[in-house]
Amino acid sequence: MKRKLLPLLALLLFGCATGPTFFSESYLAGMAAREFSTLKENMPVSSDPAGTAMVNRVSLRIAEAIGSEMPDAKWEFVLFEDESANAFAMPGGKIAVFTGLLKYVESDDELAAVVGHEIAHVQLHHANQRMSAEVLRAIGGVVAAVGTKDMESDDRNKILAAYGVGTQVGIILPYSRGHESEADRIGLMIAARAGYDPRAAIRFWEKMGVANPRSTPEFLSTHPSSSTRIRELEKAMLDALRVYEANR
């Protein structure tokens, strides 16, 4: 049974690594709109006029630059009062920035690097891919549980534990880091297309690296380290600068 189980698990995990999408984007956009509405009801919206204006200004300019690629987007930009240095974009054009992030942002160009990154996740269907990968992982877990049901309990528990840890560390976390790196590169181009200086992305991640030194090894994290991000952004910078010069 174990020999028959392993090829099937390998097939499932290979599918996970290649980025399948099982959900319609319209379904995800509707779900995102509901979640964003709930978020606005439960989290205070910032009353900072300068910060709100900055988020609206940068987000709108980027939305206009890529509008033809997201014709069904119902754009909404909100600055939430929260100390987390965070931002996110959701399918359908919902963009949230937390006030804690603005402590590290010194210019529109730097904020554009963050917003471009978050919108890149949406354009690349990363939410869909991650949800689909978790579906595959769950299916693999069921297959593993059924395929080992006649084994000794100690051996079975070891196999199931190895499946859980192995898929998390060997598949899900690298998958997430790959999405982050991809969104960094595409987000750099998005910001440049909107006329924002892509070199600001490196300045931003340098500050984030200093302010938030990593204690967890990169292979156990959902995100690349700041140094890895900067190195990959530098590789893409020449192309991004060409785009920037053409759109400034």
In a domain, 93, yes or no: yes
**For residue 188, is it within any domain?**
yes
d(CA 27, CA 148): 36
Q: Does 124 reside within a domain? A: yes
In a domain, 167, yes or no: no
Order of strands across the sheet that contains 76-80: 76-80, 94-98, 87-90
pLDDT above 90 as % of the chain: 48
pLDDT one-digit tens code per residue, 153-182: 776 776 666 656 555 555 565 556 778 889
What tens digit of pLDDT does each residue of 197-207 get?
999 999 999 99
* Annotated catalytic residue 69: no
Q: Residue 78: helix, strand or coil by DSSP?
A: strand
Helix (H, G, I), strand (E, B) or coil at 143: helix
Average pLDDT over residues 23-27: 82
Residue 238 structural domain = 25-128+174-247
In a domain, 8, yes or no: no
For helices 173-193 and 200-211, angle between their N-to-C axes, nearest 10 degrees? 140
pLDDT tens digits for range 91-111: 899 999 999 999 999 999 999
Domain total of the chain:
1
Token pair listed for 110: 């730097």
Inside any domain, residue 155: no
Q: Is residue 149 part of a domain?
A: no
Confirm whether 2 is domain-assigned.
no
Is 160:31 a contact under the CB 8 Å cutoff?
A: no
Q: What is the per-residue pLDDT across 136-157, written as a single tens digit (0 to 9) for each?
A: 666 766 666 677 777 777 767 7
Per-residue pLDDT averaged across 190-198, rounded?
A: 97
Catalytic residue from among 25, 76, 81, 118: 118
